[in-house]
Chain A
Amino acid sequence: MTPTKPVLRVIDLQVSYYTEAGRALALDRVSLELYPGEKLGMVGESGCGKSTMALAMMRMIKPPGRIEGGQVFIDDVDLMTLPEAKMRKARLSLISYIPQGAMNSLNPVLRIEAQMRDAIKEHLPTMRDAEVQARIYEALESVELRREVARMYPHELSGGMKQRVCIAIGILLGPKVIIADEPTSALDVVTQRQVMETLDRVQKQLGAAMILIGHDMGLMAQFVDKVAVMYAGKFTEISPVRDIFTNPLHPYARALIESLPTLNNKGVFKGIPGLAPSLINRPSGCAFHPRCSEAMEICRTVTPALIEQRDGRRVACHLYDQPIRRADEPAIVASR
């Protein structure tokens, strides 16, 4: 499968929160492309703007937050210019969002099928009841839940089952882009694997593009094709999953990888020194420079752009501004 046209194009999306302490630039003109069937992992520390980006793409940013610019295309539709009524329709049918702790977002006094029917009726008011029912069963079965679950209330289900109900709602209308925000952070490892396998299967069935948000790098290694590392509202590196784990380019990405406990580094893994930056008083230049072990003079003053490298990876770091190797040298940047 080699799709030629991206299904999702985010261009210069910018979001700020206006707080009493000042304006916090939570998302600083980020751009992204995603092809059908592709799975992107978006990682970064809490407060780096991952969830803000997801919410902005859904146009669900609430005051004091504001989307200040940018475009989000799904195929040829720019979500940012749609009237609100059309945007409501677009949610779930073009782009769906499985929020963090989604399992707690189910209405406790409604049966599962009632909540699913609401979602369908909102988009397809003319659909006949029998068809709606069939669609509900189909969605439940695709996440490996029995039909009887439709008649149950949320409290009768386990955490993993509730999370799968939320996935079923997310895919009810066959969206082209699915955003899952830490879909398994409250679940046990075994249940987590079950839920992720379910998500993987339905995503493949739909051929949808998917963005998985989280800070569990282990999950990313097992699940996604590409990883986008976010820091202080900007992407620092976007690379294929294998490259990010074996040869991270950006110093922040490298620190993130080195902070992971694996089977092979017992007792030597280490944290990233320093604290995540404030979004109100962002450090000048590259936001990571106060914590970066390789910061140079230029990093304090000039913000690095996200530049595509020769192997197609994208990095925003002054270490990679100039061609670092001659054309006859091997394409690996590990000389330091």
Chain B
Amino acid sequence: MIRRLLPALLLVLAACGGIATEESAVPNSNDRPGLSTTTPTVQTLGEDSVGEPAVDEDAVSEIAERTRPLGSALLSPLPAPASQPIGLVVESLGISSAPIIDVGVESNGEMEIPGATEIGWYRFGPTPGDPGSAVLAAHIAFNGRDGVFRDLDEIEVGAIVEVAYEDGSSKRFRVTEIAQYAKDELPVGRVFAKEGTPELTLITCGGDFNRSLRSYSNNVVAVAEPIDD
């Protein structure tokens, strides 16, 4: 990639005289499969030709202004992990205390969903209340049993959702948005966002049930924001 810059620079520098291009060539030190080794290169151009660098003063100050410190790269102790959500209360839907378990992804790339009686928290995303979208998903119906989120499509804007955490604390959220998406149009980038405004995203299925595919046409999505209290 640096190489693409070279021809133009070489042309200009050639007028100045000597050109020294250094490249550290280090043999691949690791031939273990699955691990790759990259060889860094330091490009040093015209080292001998610019004895007394003379530069536009404005350019130098602009360089200085446009770099910025990012703090220390020194190793620091790991922060304590956020407490995991373990229970959900949505009084307006009659969910008085549904257990939450942490889930990941299936081998086909879909979010892992627990059985009918539990809610899955996507553990690779944020904890509810932290920046980004914390996802809680549960079945509308599973293997002939109604699921925890059977009535999620009836939730209303303003409804209060309360999450209980492993450490005994709890946090309340207020529903701000309700939407249905065709399954293949679920905005997974937003739903699973790891950064940005703290949101709690509740998801289940909805729309039409296709008996031959044993699948619903839509996703029902309710987004809630934390309440300061």
A binds B: no
On A, residues with C-beta under 8 Å from B are: none
